[in-house]
Amino acid sequence: PAGAFSSPPPADDSTSPTADDSSALPLPSTYITCGKCKSLFAISSADLGAHGKGRRVKCSVCDNSWYQSRDRLLDIPTQTHELLPLPKSDLERIAKNLEREESADFAGVFKLYVGNLDWNVKEEDLKEFFESGVEGGGEVCDVSIVRGEGGRSRGFAFVTFYEEEVGRKALELNGKECNGREISVREPNN
């Protein structure tokens, strides 16, 4: 599956696969990056076949294909990072971007700060809140909840829209209730 590097979770993270987790596959020590959508894939030299210098590979996120040579495999920095599955929301954003003929890493044109969030609010909750709350509808491109070291929400997020007009309409949601809290919606400071 596609993934992204992240700093490793705290040592007491009980959701990490363990040595006795029979559903987990061993992670190769190398990876490749799709040149189109920038997704990362763990892959070993053996995955490229027994003969030749490499083989053609295809991205499972954006369908881009390329010739991958053994000498261009990158080492996973396992001492400082962990390869995690790409969240469903990122996969959906990449697919929508490619459908709209945007670059895969496009994150929208109009960003809003959203504060006073419930600690348990999820990215999907905010996406649904803004898409259903904007008069005339509109699409949210990206939602990023800011989290502390332990992974807990810090109570604010950034929501980015595909179109500036939709983002400006979303400013009208300032003071509305989301997950039981009256939220603050405004343009970010920077």
Sign of the Cα torsion 67, 73, 74, 79 reads positive
pLDDT band at 25, cuts 50/70/90? low
What are φ and ψ of residue 134, in 5° steps? -80, 125
Q: Can you tell me the distance from the alpha carbon of 108 to that of 102, in angstroms, rounded to the nearest whole number?
A: 10
pLDDT band at 56, cuts 50/70/90? very high
Number of helices (H) and strands (E), helices first, in the chain?
Answer: 3, 13
pTM higher than the cut 0.85:
no
Question: Contact 61/91 with Cβ under 8 angstroms?
Answer: yes
First and final C-alpha spacing in the chain:
35
pLDDT band at 24, cuts 50/70/90? low
Q: Can you tell me the distance from the alpha carbon of 106 to that of 142, in angstroms, rounded to the nearest whole number?
A: 9
Count CA atoms within 13 Å of residue 12 on its CB side: 2
pLDDT above 50 (res 19): no
